[in-house]
Copies of this chain bind each other. A is one copy, B any other.
Amino acid sequence: MLLEKTIAEVGTLYLEPMAEAKKRLDSLIKPPGSLGRLEELAVQLAGITGNPRPVVGDRVIIIMAGDHGVVAEGVSVAPQEITHQQIPAFLSGVAGIGVLGRLAGARLVVVDVGVAVPVDYPGVLNRKVRPGTGNIARGPAMTREEAVRSVEVGIEVVQGEIDRGATLIGLGDMGIGNTTPSSAIAAVLGGYTPEEVTGRGTLVNDQVLRQKIKVVAMALEVNRPDPADALDVLAKVGGLEIGGLAGVILGAAARRVPVVIDGFITTAAAMVAVALQPRVKEFMIASHLSGEQGHRLMLEYLGLVPMLYLNMRLGEGTGAALAMHLVEAACRVINEMASFSEAGIADLDEDKILK
């Protein structure tokens, strides 16, 4: 089975190229470590790719789109049809991710893994597992088989893009109502209360927020997902695009390609992927700290450190797109800066440096 095979293929970071990258970084004309996270990123990329002087080539942002039966509970400001309506704006470049993906030099791949209505825009990959999930406040989102299939869609799509040359993957999501299942996943897998990980999404008012928290609690009560079984969690309280994104992470990690996660939804997908295979964590790069309540806890749970603090809460991969610039910066630093000896500059006084 593709999922099990992919999980087994995920390896660990290559230590030797990491050590070599670290040595190079320490030789450059700057105090050791003074480029902070950029240096850590360069070392991580060396460990992922095996190249001690990592480079960023083709960038692809994979946007998984799906709908959510739970919108029947009044948890969202936006009507469900926006999921479907937004897709042409992604592809024509006038949505948030259209604009920021272009700035990042990334190609967008939009996948219908579970939009409620037929999507026939040219350029959208039709990988629909089912038209929207069930209402998680009343029953499961999908069957276990559908959950597996959604993850496999992500694996197939990302590996197809890697075959076509992608060397850096960003994650994006589209799905009206998808903060609610993401909160439910975070609560189950992270062991948080619904209050801790349920936020305002697209800035809903207090009344809708209370309703969302109630709905998350109902979803957990009605479905009783097993925290030790990520596929059970995904099937019972998840979403099709969340499964697809978990698959993208697994599929990229199995091929040793770095994955930039985005905000709340893609981090819920990351929790699913890590629950299926803890080693994928080493292949992920956190981009931004979302304005959505709970995102900080989820990143802490995963041990990921965000780089951008922009109070964004749009999703679509917009934070991942912005962070690609930082990934490129890390690669530029290790490849383009000179060493002290190359530049003929006096070295630092080792006796005075913090060890």
Q: Which A residues fall within an 8 A CB radius of B?
A: 28-38, 76-79, 81-82, 85-86, 88-89, 93-96, 98-100, 102-103, 200-208, 291, 305-314, 318, 322, 325-326, 328-329, 332-333, 336-338, 342-346, 348-349, 352-355
Partner of A103, one of B28, B205, B329, B352: B329
Can you name 11 A-B residue pairings with CB atoms under 8 Å? Answer: A31-B203, A35-B314, A37-B309, A76-B352, A79-B346, A94-B337, A94-B338, A103-B329, A200-B354, A205-B353, A310-B326
Chain B's closest residue to A81 (CB) is B346
Least CB distance from A99 to B in Å reads: 4
Task: Collect the chain B residues with CB atoms within 8 Å of residue A305's CB.
Answer: 309
- The verdict on A86 contacting B29 (CB below 8 Å), with A309-B306, A311-B36, A312-B35 known, is yes
Kindly report how many copies of this chain are found in the complex they form together. 2
Task: Collect the chain B residues with CB atoms within 8 Å of residue A338's CB.
Answer: 89, 94-95
Q: What are the nearest 6 A-B pairs in CB distance? A: A36-B311, A31-B202, A94-B338, A34-B314, A37-B310, A36-B312
| A34 near B312: Cβ-Cβ < 8 Å | yes
Task: Collect the chain B residues with CB atoms within 8 Å of residue A32's CB.
Answer: 203
| A343 near B36: Cβ-Cβ < 8 Å | no
Task: Collect the chain B residues with CB atoms within 8 Å of residue A342's CB.
Answer: 94
Chain B's closest residue to A338 (CB) is B94
| B349 near A31: Cβ-Cβ < 8 Å | no
Least CB distance from A246 to B in Å reads: 24
Partner of A314, one of B30, B102, B202, B310: B30
- The verdict on A352 contacting B204 (CB below 8 Å), with A306-B309, A310-B36, A312-B37 known, is yes
Task: Collect the chain B residues with CB atoms within 8 Å of residue A326's CB.
Answer: 308, 310, 322
| A352 near B205: Cβ-Cβ < 8 Å | yes
| B95 near A337: Cβ-Cβ < 8 Å | yes
